[in-house]
Every structure is written in C-alpha cells, then in structure tokens.
Structure 1
C-alpha cells in the first residue's frame, strides 16, 4: 500500500511539474504574440522605396511578421491556449493582466 501511495504521489507531482512548465512557456510566448500584434498594427510603410522583386521593404517586413504571428498562434493553440475576448470588456483580474 505504501508503494502504491508513493507511486500515485510521484505521478501527481510529475503532472503538476508539467502543468507549471506549460504555464510558464505559454506566458512567455504570449508576450511574443503581443509584440507581433503591435508590429502588425503599425502603418504599412507604403512610402518605402522598392526593394528586390517589387516588394517594398515595409511589405516584406509585414509579410514576415504575419507569418511569424500565425506560427506563434498555432503553437499556442496546439498547447491548449484559448483567446479571450478582452477588448472593450471590463477588467477581470481572474482572466486579464494589467500592463
């Protein structure tokens, strides 16, 4: 019985460690997504001189940020993160983080 209790306790401990690490990873990754969203909200840079094959520097930068943003969101979704509608909603400290 003691061995069975020990095994169950170790299993719970391991699961708790996994959940804590997952939360740490998701929290760090959310900061990256926030930065990418701010970059996407910036003006396109249509006044930039053409570079390369007809893509303006601002267009190429935006495309790169869009691809990175999409990949970041896919990782978050794969890890179980769910977007919460926070814009124009009252602040709820249980769900929102003040910045």
Structure 2
C-alpha cells in the first residue's frame, strides 16, 4: 500500500501542478484580456477624437468658404472707391455751357452704374451727415463747436469723404467733422 499511496500522492502532486499551471495560464490570459480591452478602449477614444477633429475641420473649411464668398468683392471695391470719389468730385464742378452739361451727364451715368454694381455685391455707403458719431464706421478728422453750429454734441456736421461697407465689414470709414 505504500506504493499505492506513493502513486496517489504523485498523482495528486501532478494534478496540483497542472491546476497551478492552468491557474497561472488563466491569470495571464485574463491579464492579457484586460490589456487588450484597455487598448481597444484607447483606440476607440482616439478614433472618436479623430472623427470629431475631421468634422471640426470640415465645418471650419465650410465657414471659410462662405466668408470668402461673402467678401469676394472687397478687394475690387477698395480699388474702385478712389475712382468713385473722383467721379463725384467731377460732378461737383460747376459748368456753364452745353458741352460741359453733356459731359457731366455722362459722368453721372458712369457713377450711377458703378454704384449699382457695388450695391449688387452688397457694398453700401455709410450714412454720416447729421448722424451721431460712431468710431466703428466714422473717422473724425476735425471737431467744431456744437453751440456755434446749433447741433447736439457728438453729431457729424460735415462729411469730407464717403465711407463704404461690405455687408457688416467696413471697407473705408467715412471721414467726418464732428461737433463737440
């Protein structure tokens, strides 16, 4: 029986050793599963962040395209404004003959066409005369006494150069004289 006990003990030891190995392997596999789940979670989070970044880039690009389309006439308008100023100065000149009147009428037609084209692109004159001074759209180049001009303080009494804006963006502020 001694040998039988010895065999049984050996078998029990083998069984215990195998069970320990199985437990160790199970623990390692469990640890590996946990690691893999963490990596999956990290990669999923990274994927979501990248997708959000792509959506943000698309939105930003769309907004940039819309802004560019909205203000596409800005550079051309800035180039045309001095020509419009010159045409208005030409119209301010007094003429005393028929030829001068005809020329003035032609200049007026050209000016009207330019203003119509600018208005079609969303460009408008900034109203200044007899308005309250607004530093966002007016540029004060001189001040005068309000009492002498019989106006309220901070009122524009003279417009030296017209201002223009494109939608909500000032292309050129109106140069004005303000009563103080």
TM-score where L is the length of structure 1: 0.68
User: How many residue pairs were aligned?
Assistant: 90
Q: How far off is 1:7 after superposition?
A: 1.8
Instruction: Report the secondary structure of 2:124's partner residue.
Output: coil
Q: How far off is 1:89 after superposition?
A: 4.5
Structure 2 alignment gaps of length 5 or more: 1-50, 139-172
Structure 1 alignment gaps of length 5 or more: 47-55
Aligned-residue CA RMSD (Å) = 2.4
* Structure with greater strand share of residues: 2
In the alignment, is the contact (CA less than 8 A) between 1:40 and 1:66 conserved in 2? Answer: yes
In the alignment, is the contact (CA less than 8 A) between 1:29 and 1:76 conserved in 2? Answer: no
Q: Which moved more, 1:24-33 or 1:56-65?
A: 24-33
TM-score where L is the length of structure 2: 0.42
Q: Could you say which structure has the greater relative contact order, defined with CA pairs below 8 angstroms and 6 or more residues apart?
A: 1
In the alignment, is the contact (CA less than 8 A) between 1:45 and 1:58 conserved in 2? Answer: yes
Is structure 2 residue 100 aligned with structure 1 residue 66? no
Aligned mates of 2:91, 2:120 — CA distance in 1: 22
> If you compute each CA radius of gyration, which structure gives the higher value, 1 or 2?
2
